[in-house]
Structure 1
Amino acid sequence: MSTEIVPANTASPEDIDAIFGTADAGRCRCQRFKVVGWMWRDSTLDERVDRLYEQTACGEPDAPATSGLVAYVDGEPAGWVAVEPRTAYPKLRGLRVPWTGRDEDKDDAGVWVVTCFVVRKGFRGRGLTYPLARAALDHARDSGARAVEAYPMVVPPGKHITWGETHVGVRQVFEDAGFTQVAHPTPRRVVMRVDFA
């Protein structure tokens, strides 16, 4: 299969919609760490769709920034990864996973974060999150990030985890991309990081 990964602002709104579809990821629209309050009560689907369009600047190839990358497989929109400065995610400030056991400046915009993967139905099971994670790392570095973090799931051998639980990624995907584990704040979650020289 031929895979191309591009900044989301070069994708169309229709391509974004095709990737997110109507599954849980489609309802969230990558707003879990952005909507202040309880997402399902304090925002509507239409608001989340509009916010994602605005954040990605989809359909605006000359936009100065975007909130993620889109993968095309054989020309079809197939996957998404969210990557932008950690400060773009206000709800991360109140979670224990990014911060437990670490002395981090929560307002450091030089640290970027990969928060979400979405792979379109029909394209799952092909390992698409691996090139998406590598592309997210390159995109962050090229955009001026000082470091990139991720907060993936740990999948013990022989354990089954549903696809929806792994929207944050799994540890081996980030290991493959060159991230190093810097903390293990919960049994099921780790903090992975790359610091650029």
Structure 2
Amino acid sequence: MGITVQPVDESLFDDVQKIFGSKGQPARCQCQGYRMGWYARHSDDVQGRRELLRDQVIEGHGLVAHLDGEPVGWCSLAPRPDYTFLRQTTWKGRQENQEDATVWAVTCFVTRAGFRHQGVSRALVHGTIDLARDRGANALEAYPMKPAPGKDVTWGDMHVGGLSSFLDAGFRVVHVPSLRRAIVRYDY
């Protein structure tokens, strides 16, 4: 059967929570870091962040991957202005309109423990293109890590995805704000 990817809706919220698990950074953050900022995503209000995520899932802002029917991966994407913390992390040297809601952003991936290194994130990256286009985006942007050749990047840093996955899906590099990060874009 393989990996299938679908847009989230309320019926998939429990699958998202199964992917996040009950401990570790995904369970704590509830994919709110780029929406709330570092301090708020580390507060003790996990339930509050979970409710925010539920609202985003109901809005259809994300994808879930299943492997042979089992929920294994999550990807957050929404109009770029929804992610206010991006303005602090990805804008150095950029001149475009930060409030352009026709540009969507891919900010976070979670692959469930036990299912990593099986192509889940790559499948999700490919799914982002259709979802953003179907929701009216003119462009789709992401902020992946670009590890140096032969260097490992810890999983926590890789929550934004790897550059090669985006390039393989047809994204192009539009800005390089640091040695370890690229900004990629897919124009429709």
- The alignment's TM-score, normalised by the length of structure 2, stands at 0.94
Structure 2 counterpart of 1:175, one-letter code: L
CA shift in 2, pair 1:41/1:161, >3 Å = closer
Show CA shifts across 1:130-161 (max 9, x none).
11001011110111100000011011121111
> 1:11, 1:70 within 8 Å by CA — same for their partners in 2?
no
* Aligned equivalent of 2:49: 48
Q: For the aligned residues, what is the CA RMSD?
A: 1.5
Show CA shifts across 1:152-181 (max 9, x none).
101112111111110001110100111000
C-alpha distance in 2 between matches for 1:15 and 1:178: 28
C-alpha distance in 2 between matches for 1:37 and 1:121: 24
* Aligned equivalent of 1:185: 177
> 2:109, 2:159 within 8 Å by CA — same for their partners in 1?
yes
- Pick the aligned partner of 2:124 from 117, 132, 141: 132
- Pick the aligned partner of 1:161 from 134, 153, 156: 153
Runs of 4+ in 1 over 6 A off after TM superposition: none
> 2:13, 2:57 within 8 Å by CA — same for their partners in 1?
no
Show CA shifts across 1:64-113 (max 9, x none).
x3110000110000000111100111111222x2x222211011000001
* Count of aligned positions: 187
In the alignment, structure 2 segments of 5+ residues that lack a partner are: none
- Tell me the SS of whatever aligns to 1:154: coil
In the alignment, structure 1 segments of 5+ residues that lack a partner are: 58-64
C-alpha distance in 1 between matches for 2:129 and 2:82: 17
Structure 2 counterpart of 1:7, one-letter code: P
> 2:20, 2:110 within 8 Å by CA — same for their partners in 1?
yes
> 1:5, 1:69 within 8 Å by CA — same for their partners in 2?
yes
- The alignment's TM-score, normalised by the length of structure 1, stands at 0.89
**Aligned counterparts, 1:1-197, within 5 A:** 2-9=2-9, 11-21=11-21, 22-35=23-36, 38-40=39-41, 42=43, 44-57=45-58, 65-95=59-89, 97=90, 99-196=91-188
How far has the Cα of 1:55 moved from its partner? 1.0
- Tell me the SS of whatever aligns to 1:189: coil
Structure 1 counterpart of 2:28, one-letter code: R
> 1:35, 1:42 within 8 Å by CA — same for their partners in 2?
no
